[in-house]
Each structure stands twice: as C-alpha cells, then as structure tokens.
Amino acid sequence: MNVLIDNFHTFAQGFLGTVELTVYASVLALVLGFLMASFRVAPVGSLRAFGTVWVTVLRNTPLTLLFFAVLLGLPRFGLVLPFKVFAVLALGCYTSAFICEALRSGINTVPKGQGEAARSLGMTFSQTLSVVVLPQAFRSVIPPIGSTLIALAKNSAIAGAFSVNELLGTYKTLSELGYNIVWTFVWIAVGYLIITLTISAIFNYLEQRWGVAR
C-alpha cells in the first residue's frame, strides 16, 4: 500500500500517460481504419489493393517490430519527433488494420437486399449509404471495435519499454527507489484493469443503446 501512497504522483503520471496514448492512438486508429475500410469496399481497384496491402501487412507485423522501425528507424530518415508522437503513430497505424476489418465485416453483415431496396426506392448512393447501410453496419461493429480498443490500451504498454512515459514504465523509477517490486506490479495491474474495464463499460453502454437485436 505504501508504494502507491508514497509514489502517487509517479503512478498518476504513468496512468495519465497510458490514457493519453490510448486516446490519441484510438482516434488515429478509428480515422485511418474508417479510411482503409472505405478503400477496401471502394469500386476503384487500386484503392482496394492499397487497403488490402495495408491491412495484411500491419496485421502480420509484430507490434514490437513496428515500434522499433518507427521509434528508432524513422529518425534516420531525418524525421525527428517526440517519442510519444511516434508511439501514437505506431499504435494507431497497427490498430487501424483491425478497426478496418471490423468495419468491413460490419458492412458485410448488412443484407444485400437492404441496399437493393433502398435503390429501388430511388435513393441516391449517398442516401443508401448514410440512411440505410451505415447505421446498421455501425451498430453491429460496436463490440468488435470495443475489444480492439481494449487491445490497443493493453498494447500501449510496449511504448513504456521504448521509454515513453506510461504506466508500465513506472516500475523502472520505483525499483530504482528501492520499493517492493511485487506491490509496484500489483498497482500497475490495477491501473490497466481500470482502463480496460472503463473502455469495456463504455462500449457495453453503447451496445445497449445502439446495438441491434437480430
């Protein structure tokens, strides 16, 4: 218990660091994921190919390798940014591949007849998309997106090992100060549980509000 009280400031900073990473990377992942999903269902072949390559490569890249390439490799390009920005980039791009697949499968869960019916009523493409298809797709992808973002929060731990200030990294400071390492990890674990449970609660609520009963 002492570990937490004596070092509340360190823990709080690490916790906020993780939350910050998670939030920024989530936004990036959602934006990129949406873009890639629209590429993958686009009628234009080259965009579909680009989306497919993006998803296939990123889904099969170990995240540690991606962090290595982005945090240590990109500066060799003459691109020097704060480590935190690099970490957000790596996490966001990696997660976007999973978000993209979730969204795409959501679009595929909408029966083909829905779109046909909308067109037969004379709706334009944008009407079909925004009034009929997307609202249904959106509701069925809430749970997979929730679990993807939880995984993102957990994956952000890797950033700590690349000396970005976040929750897991706090163990280094505290072990140098000579605190009990086991208790330090207990509080780190509690911190991660708080974050994942919060995301899960938010998505549970969203699912109850908007989920579809099929």
Partner 1 sequence: MTATAPESTALYDVPGPRTRQRHRLYAAVSTALILALVGWILYLLFDTDQFTYTKWMPFEYKGIQELLLRGLGNTLKAFAMAAVLSLALGTVLATGRLSDHRPVRWVSALVVEFFRAMPVLVMIFFIFVALKVQPLPALVAGLTLYNGSVLAEVFRSGVNSVERGQREAAFALGMRKTQVMTYVLVPQAVRAMLPAIISQLVVALKDTSLGYLITYEEFLHAGKLIASNLDYDLPFIPVVMVISPIYIGMCMLLSWFAQWVSRREQRSPKTEAVHVAPAEPGTLLPGGGPPTAPRL
State which residue, 16 or 189, has the beta carbon closest to partner 1.
189
Residue 114: how many CB atoms within 10 A of its CB? Answer: 14
6, 12, 27, 64: which one binds partner 1 (CB under 8 A) = 64
19 near partner 1, judged by CB under 8 A = no
Helices (H), 41-133: 45-59, 63-67, 83-109, 112-120, 125-127
DSSP code for 70:
I
4 near partner 1, judged by CB under 8 A = no
96 near partner 1, judged by CB under 8 A = no
11, 29, 40, 88: which one binds partner 1 (CB under 8 A) = 40
82 near partner 1, judged by CB under 8 A = no
29, 133, 165, 187: which one binds partner 1 (CB under 8 A) = 133
Helices (H), the chain: 2-6, 8-40, 45-59, 63-67, 83-109, 112-120, 125-127, 134-140, 142-155, 157-161, 170-176, 181-210
Handedness of CA 67, 72, 73, 79 (dihedral sign): positive
Touching partner 1, residues 138-197 (CB under 8 A): 140-144, 146-148, 150-152, 154-158, 160-161, 168, 171, 175, 181-182, 184-185, 188-189, 192-193, 196-197
Binding-site size for partner 1 (CB under 8 A) equals 86
